[in-house]
């Protein structure tokens, strides 16, 4: 089954063609990073207007690269949420309109479920259940147990900043370009262990995270005026990675998970990848970086599995903007 998938939840306009939830024939991403960089963050109205400009050409390119026409598309999927409302509406309504115009099945996909399904786009055997999923993006940090396709139980998450958000804010404090994540990681390559001791919020007895104290600690160092950017970047990255890899590996052991699946933009962080592989007691899967950050192939992968189960979304379905794993289940109706 060829699924045409569209993603526009934040600042990337993306479209892809995915076969049977596993093979991406194309994955086109038009990034708006340069447009938002001068503001130091994503400006919602600027983002939705840019999506309007990009969406047509991006969908056309996804079909052309896949070497198919709309006649060969079997179903259409769009990101339903969470994300910026104005951004979501562009991609979601485009997906609906194509489905309506062509009389094709339509499916709305949860963005975070999509991130997890990026792990199905990698060649080789499919991930095994029960899988412990670590979702680390610019907007979310969640530990979710996946017992089967579409079955999620959130066991922990951030109480304040998301991991990617913490990277981005620290990047800004250090005067690095937006988005901070990759730039902090790059600066950290020149750094190493130092006298600095940055806090790690272990929050005993829970699998929750907190990164705001760590961010404030960096703020104090920067305000004090005398610091070395690579050293601060290194110490910050180590603190984030230590807690993420520490809690994930412990929970995987306690649950007896078959595998650990990592997802979201921060999953492209090399140190996080290394530490998860080193510490987890079970196999760890991490998609290649192009499928870690926002893309539409991951949406097509999640949709492929749900469509195969007979699930469809009505064309009257609204978007949603909050992080609600219970809604992943209720976002679809069975045909
Ligand atoms: O998943 P994503 O593309 O968008 C959201 O759904 O939020 O994640 C973007 C986030 C940003 O915060 C970005 O700084 C972070 O992922 N990121 C990284 C790296 N690459 C992207 N953070 C740390 N190290 C990286 N190499
Ligand atoms: Zn994302």
Q: How far apart are CA 270 and CA 120, in angstroms?
A: 20
**CATH superfamily of the 129-286 domain:** ATPase, nucleotide binding domain (3.30.420.40)
Return the ligand 1 atom nearest residue 180 CA.
Answer: 14
What is the per-residue pLDDT for 329?
55
Every domain of the chain with CATH number 3.30.420.40 lies at: 2-117+291-333, 129-286
Question: What is the model's pLDDT at position 38?
Answer: 86
The pLDDT score that the predictor gives to residue 101 is 98
**Is the separation of the CB atoms in 318 and 39 below 8 Å?**
no
Q: What is the CA radius of gyration of the chain?
A: 20
Give the pLDDT of residue 12: 95
Q: Residue 332: what pLDDT?
A: 45
**Which of 254, 279, 275, 253 lies closest to 266, judged by CA?**
275
Tell me the CA–centroid distance for residue 113 and ligand 2, in Å.
Answer: 10
- Give the ligand 1 atom nearest the CA of 83: 6
Residue 325 CB-density burial (10 A; 0-12 exposed, 13-18 middle, 19+ buried): middle
Determine the 3-state secondary structure of 166 from DSSP: helix
Three-state SS letters, 7-29: ECCCCEEEEEEEECCCEEEEEEE
Instruction: Determine which residue's CA is closest to atom 21 belonging to ligand 1.
Output: 265
Rounded to the nearest whole angstrom, what is the distance from the C-alpha of residue 265 to the centroid of ligand 1?
3
Contacting residues for 123 by C-beta, under 8 A, at least 6 apart: none
334 with 132: CB under 8 angstroms?
A: no
Query: Pocket around ligand 1: residues whose beta carbon is below 6 Å from it?
Result: 10, 137-139, 164, 167-168, 179-182, 185, 264-266, 268-269, 293-294
Q: Which CATH class is domain 2-117+291-333?
A: alpha beta
List Cα–Cα distances, 122 to 145, 158, 200, 298, in angstroms: 20, 28, 33, 11
Low-confidence residues of the chain: pLDDT under 50: 330-335
Candidate from 115, 138, 267 with most ligand 1 atoms within 8 A of CB, to mutate:
138
């Amino acid at each position: 089954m060829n699924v045409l998938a569209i993603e526009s939840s934040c600042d990337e306009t993306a479209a892809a063609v995915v076969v049977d939830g596993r093979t991406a024939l194309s994955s086109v991403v038009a990034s708006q990073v340069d447009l938002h960089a001068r503001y130091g963050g994503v400006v919602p109205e600027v983002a939705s207007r840019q999506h309007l400009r990009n969406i047509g050409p991006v969908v056309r390119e996804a079909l052309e690269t896949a070497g198919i026409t709309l006649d060969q598309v079997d179903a259409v999927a769009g990101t339903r949420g969470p994300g910026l409302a104005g951004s979501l509406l562009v991609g979601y309504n485009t997906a609906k309109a194509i489905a309506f115009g062509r009389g094709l099945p339509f499916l709305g996909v949860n963005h975070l479920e999509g991130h997890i399904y990026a792990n199905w786009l990698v060649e080789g055997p499919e991930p095994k259940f029960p899988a412990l999923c670590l979702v680390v993006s610019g907007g979310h940090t969640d530990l979710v147990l996946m017992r089967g396709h579409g079955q999620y139980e959130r066991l922990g998450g951030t109480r304040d900043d998301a991991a990617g958000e913490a990277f981005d804010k620290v990047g800004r404090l250090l005067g690095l370009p937006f988005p901070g994540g990759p730039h902090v990681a790059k600066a950290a390559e020149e750094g190493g262990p130092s006298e600095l001791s940055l806090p790690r919020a272990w929050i005993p007895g829970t699998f929750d995270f907190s990164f705001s104290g760590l961010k404030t600690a960096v703020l104090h160092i920067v305000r004090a005026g005398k610091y070395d950017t690579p050293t601060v970047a290194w110490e910050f990255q180590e603190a984030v990675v230590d807690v993420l890899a520490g809690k994930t590996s412990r929970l995987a052991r306690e649950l007896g998970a078959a595998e650990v699946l990592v997802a979201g933009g921060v999953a492209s962080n090399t140190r996080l990848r290394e530490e998860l592989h080193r510490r987890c007691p079970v196999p760890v899967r991490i998609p290649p970086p192009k499928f870690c950050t926002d893309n539409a192939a991951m949406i097509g992968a999640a949709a492929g599995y749900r469509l195969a189960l007979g699930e469809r979304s009505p064309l009257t379905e609204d978007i949603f903007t909050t992080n609600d794993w219970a809604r992943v289940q209720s976002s679809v109706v069975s045909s």
